[in-house]
């Protein structure tokens, strides 16, 4: 049995179409990512905020309390691709806070809590 030329041609057309559609989907997915973040707290009482920008737009990092009052505000310039900052949160009172990162119409919010762990010591003399 010999495969016909039409069958071979249709197989090639299907393979090429599938390959180009897959490539186009990957390319569109990469364009949609404007920035990525990493936010974590350290034992030393610092909140580390990392932002990797994939656009030439400015970005804004704002830390607010539960009332919406801005505690810290940083503008990331157009030319900055990687932003790394450690915020000292040791002096913040207990409560709920939000880190908001925004650029080019996209916004990410992360919430965190500041609490105190109190240790009570008791001495009993018998």
60 in the same domain as 48: yes
**Biggest distance spanned by C-alpha atoms of the chain:** 102
For the cut 80, the answer to whether the pLDDT of residue 88 exceeds it is: yes
In a domain, 92, yes or no: yes
Residue 80 domain boundaries: 33-114
Q: So what's the pLDDT on residue 32?
A: 63
72 in the same domain as 108: yes
In a domain, 121, yes or no: no
The model's pLDDT over 27-80, given as tens digits with 9 standing for 90+, comes to 444 556 899 999 999 888 899 999 999 999 999 999 999 999 999 999 999 999
38 in the same domain as 74: yes
37 in the same domain as 24: no
98 in the same domain as 40: yes
Distances (CA, A) of 65 to 18, 84, 87, 90: 50, 21, 14, 14
38 in the same domain as 22: no
Q: So what's the pLDDT on residue 86?
A: 95
Q: So what's the pLDDT on residue 6?
A: 57
- For residues 6 and 113, give the distance between their C-alpha atoms in angstroms, rounded to a whole number: 66
Q: So what's the pLDDT on residue 24?
A: 47
Which residues face 51 on adjacent strands?
Answer: 37, 83
């Amino acid at each position: 049995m010999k495969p016909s030329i039409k069958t071979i041609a249709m197989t090639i057309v299907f393979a090429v179409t599938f390959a180009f559609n897959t490539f186009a989907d990957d390319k569109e997915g990469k364009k949609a990512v404007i920035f990525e973040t990493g936010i974590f707290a350290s034992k030393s009482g610092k909140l580390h905020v990392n932002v990797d920008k994939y656009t030439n737009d400015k970005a804004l990092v704002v830390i607010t309390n539960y009332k919406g009052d801005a505690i810290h505000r940083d503008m990331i310039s157009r030319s900055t691709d990687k932003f790394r900052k450690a915020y000292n949160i040791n002096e913040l009172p207990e409560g709920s806070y939000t880190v908001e990162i925004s650029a080019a119409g996209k916004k990410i919010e992360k919430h965190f809590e500041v609490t105190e762990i109190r240790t009570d010591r008791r001495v009993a003399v018998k």
